[in-house]
Chains A and B, each alone.
Chain A
Amino acid sequence: MFSLERFHAHCGFPDFFSCATVSSVVGKFYLSPLLRILSFLSLVLAGQLSLQCIFFPPLEKGHGEESVLRPLYMDVQATTPLDPRVLDSMLPYLMHYYGNPHSRTHAYGWESESAMERARQQVASLIGADPREIIFTSGATESNNLAIKGVARFYKSRKKHIITTQTEHKCVLDSCRYLETEGFRVTYLPVKRNGLIDLKELENALQPDTSLVSIMTVNNEIGVKQPISDIGQICSSHKVFFHTDAAQAVGKIPMDVNDMKIDLMSISGHKIYGPKGVGAIYVRRRPRVRLEPLQSGGGQERGMRSGTVPTPLAVGLGAACEVSQQEMEYDYKRISVLADRLVTKIMTEIPDVVMNGDPEHHYPGCINLSFAYVEGESLLMALKDVALSSGSACTSASLEPSYVLRAIGTDEDLAHSSIRFGIGRFTTEEEVDYTVQKCIQHVKRLREMSPLWEMVQDGVDLKSIKWTQH
């Protein structure tokens, strides 16, 4: 039940104003717009209302006592909470040091610029790059667009071919599709059943006029780690630029742009416990990678991305990268242990669970499990105390099963029953145990209700059934 007292306390109202009539009428129909306006007017007339009280306090609609408590967060591939150290580094630039980093003439600009350059150095040192090779963007989507469209368009007079994979992020696939309308040819490499690409196929797909190969390091849906060093080796020997979307990999596994022969790399702030709305792109200088900018303007960021660099966000990204560099080993060890615990516990308790993606070349913090004979959406609804996702956030709005699972050859029904568990820096053993327990409980319950499960228990082979048409 919505609490009026809490609303008043939030607005700074004196308590005597919560008279019974107003409370009962308003409290019961609080979500009705008409009565909301009436209550607002009555409060204005009483001369007690301060204008900040137009917005209601952030309470979710309670459907029972259980949902008054917040669910556990097990969806770190979608986004991550801010690390307290990152927020601490950002706050001064949100409060006092608000200058524009491109203002050359006064101290506000200078201090902002030096913070931005420090952040650039922090990002660069995480990936083994030079700070001059880092460009701040609004996120990995913009970085991917810049890399693919920018490089393709710059070299379009002589190079018209691009290679990517079928399991890339939507922004990469969409950029490639857009370039096809501009006259480029794109090869979408298929992946093997374990989610990895075939290096021979990649080499065969390379043509004399290939300008760019774009393959993501760690997949955000199934957690598969592509053999980036080998791909980089192939690309550099054929003199083709290699771009990798490392949004899920940076700060979690060691990345070095020189060892792995990477020419372009996309970094996302909010995947590494940094702020949302900022990212970076690494653009190699030796040998120089040229790209056509997407955004025209004052020539900031070496002319590749015009626009004021958001200092607080850039500082946050830099701090997140520095923290990740220090904590990488510790986090990786812990996350591997927790991931093992989750998978082992689930697989020993319930049969017919498939883990999507190669078990060896895999980032442990992203676990995608398919529960046979259970519908994925109904399992997600049942696990209402845990924030999970089936597939990625960018495809979750549509009813289609994830294209990544389709690309690795998962059966239609298994693709519909997949859930992605994300384990991050702040995930505890308790949370993993709770998730596992609820998952086992609900999978068992849903299977009890499923006629398909009954048939399987009786020994019927589901693939042999001839479903009648009505």
Chain B
Amino acid sequence: MAASSRAQVLRLYRALLRESQRFTAYGYRTYAIRRIRDAFRENKHLKDSEEIQTLVNKARTNLEIIHRQVTIGQLYSTQKLVIESPENRDNLII
């Protein structure tokens, strides 16, 4: 298998973010999106193809985990948090 190209990594990144958006729980959703962005940003300078491959494999495993947990969250969903309602968000003056 050829080493992961830039396009593949970007596709994986977008898939991870898209899947994380589907979390019903506010905390999990925000954490997943934030962590994915920060992790990819942190490692964007890497040149060693082996390192990149390990990270890509890790990302693929995490994508599967996120997918399963998103589904479970949707099966057992509950009410939203106070902060997710639009009026409460607009009221934040700080």
Q: Which residues of A contact B (CB under 8 A)?
A: 58, 66, 68-73, 81, 84-85, 87-88, 330, 345, 385-386, 425-428, 430-431, 433-434, 436-437
- Residues of A contacting B32 in the complex (Cβ-Cβ under 8 angstroms): 84
Q: Which of A71, A81, A345, A433 contacts B81 (CB 8 A)?
A: A71
Whole-angstrom distance from the CB of B36 to the nearest CB of chain A? 12
Whole-angstrom distance from the CB of A307 to the nearest CB of chain B? 29
Q: Which residues of B contact A (CB under 8 A)?
A: 26-28, 30-32, 34-35, 38, 62, 65-66, 68-69, 72, 78-85, 88-89, 91-94
Q: Give complex CA distance A378, B14 in Å.
A: 46
Contact A70 B80 (CB under 8 A): yes
Some 8 contacts from A to B, beta carbons below 8 A apart, are A69-B79, A70-B79, A71-B81, A72-B82, A345-B94, A385-B82, A430-B92, A434-B82
Contact A425 B69 (CB under 8 A): no
Residue of B nearest to A88 (CB): B65
Residue of B nearest to A67 (CB): B82
Query: Assuming the A-B contacts A72-B83, A88-B69, A426-B30, are A433 and B94 also in contact, with contact meaning beta carbons closer than 8 angstroms in the complex?
Result: yes
Contact B66 A84 (CB under 8 A): yes
Contact B28 A69 (CB under 8 A): no
Q: Give complex CA distance A462, B1 in Å.
A: 77
Whole-angstrom distance from the CB of A409 to the nearest CB of chain B? 33
Q: Give complex CA distance A431, B81 in Å.
A: 10
Q: Give complex CA distance A427, B34 in Å.
A: 11
Contact B68 A88 (CB under 8 A): yes
Q: Which of A72, A428, A434 contacts B30 (CB 8 A)?
A: A428
Query: Assuming the A-B contacts A84-B65, A433-B92, A433-B94, are A69 and B80 also in contact, with contact meaning beta carbons closer than 8 angstroms in the complex?
Result: yes
Supplied contacts A69-B79, A70-B80, A437-B94, 9 more A-B pairs, CB within 8 Å: A58-B78, A69-B81, A72-B81, A84-B32, A84-B69, A385-B82, A385-B88, A426-B30, A428-B34
Q: Give complex CA distance A364, B27 in Å.
A: 19
Q: Give complex CA distance A345, B92 in Å.
A: 14
- Residues of B contacting A71 in the complex (Cβ-Cβ under 8 angstroms): 81-82
Q: Which of B28, B31, B78: most chain A CB closer than 10 A?
A: B31
Contact B27 A434 (CB under 8 A): no
Whole-angstrom distance from the CB of B81 to the nearest CB of chain A? 5
Whole-angstrom distance from the CB of B62 to the nearest CB of chain A? 8
Residue of A nearest to B68 (CB): A88
Q: Give complex CA distance A174, B65 in Å.
A: 42
Query: Assuming the A-B contacts A84-B65, A88-B69, A426-B27, are A69 and B94 also in contact, with contact meaning beta carbons closer than 8 angstroms in the complex?
Result: no
- Residues of A contacting B34 in the complex (Cβ-Cβ under 8 angstroms): 428
A-B pairs with lowest CB-CB distance, top 10: A426-B27, A84-B69, A385-B82, A69-B82, A88-B65, A433-B94, A428-B30, A426-B31, A70-B81, A70-B79
Residue of B nearest to A425 (CB): B31
- Residues of B contacting A345 in the complex (Cβ-Cβ under 8 angstroms): 94
- Residues of A contacting B83 in the complex (Cβ-Cβ under 8 angstroms): 72, 430-431, 434
Q: Which of B32, B83, B85: most chain A CB closer than 10 A?
A: B83
